[in-house]
Amino acid sequence: LHSLPTLINFFRGALARAQEELREAKIRGEWVTTSSESVNILERLKYLTDKTTGWLYTKLSRSLFDAHRTLFGLKVAARVMQEENQLTWEEWQLFVTGAHVDPASNNL
C-alpha cells in the first residue's frame, strides 16, 4: 500500500494530465469555447472524470496479468455504472455471489 501523500500526488498528477488533455482538445477544436457562459461545469467534470478513469485503467492494466486485467476492467466498469445509477448494489451482489437457491426446494 502507498502512503496518503503518495496517493494525493498521484491523483494531482492525473488531474494535471487530464487538464492538459482538455487544453489540447480545445486546440484541436474538439471542445466548445471556454467562455463561462458556454461551458457547462457538469460536462467539464464528466470529461475530466472519463479521461482520468481511462488514463488510470490504461496505466494500471499494463502491470496486470491478462486474467487480472479482465477482473480489474470488470470492477472499473461496474463502479462507473454504480456511480451513474445504472447498477444497484443488489444487482452487483447478485452478480458477484450468484443467486442463493434453497437446496431443500426443487425450484431451479
Whether residue 79 has pLDDT greater than 50: yes
**Which residue would you say has higher pLDDT here, 77 or 42?**
77
Over range 97-101, report the average pLDDT: 76
∠ CA(93), CA(94), CA(100), 5° rounding? 120
Taking the C-alpha atoms of residue 9 and residue 64, their distance in angstroms, rounded to an integer, is: 22
Q: Which residue has the higher pLDDT, 76 or 32?
A: 76
Instruction: Write out the three cell numbers for 8.
Output: 494525493
Of 19 and 36, the one with more pLDDT: 19
pLDDT digits (tens, 9 = 90+) for 41-60: 777 777 888 888 888 888 88
The DSSP-derived string for 41-97 is HHHHHHHHHHHHHHHHHHHHHTTS-HHHHHHHHHHHHHHHHHHTTSS-HHHHHHHHH
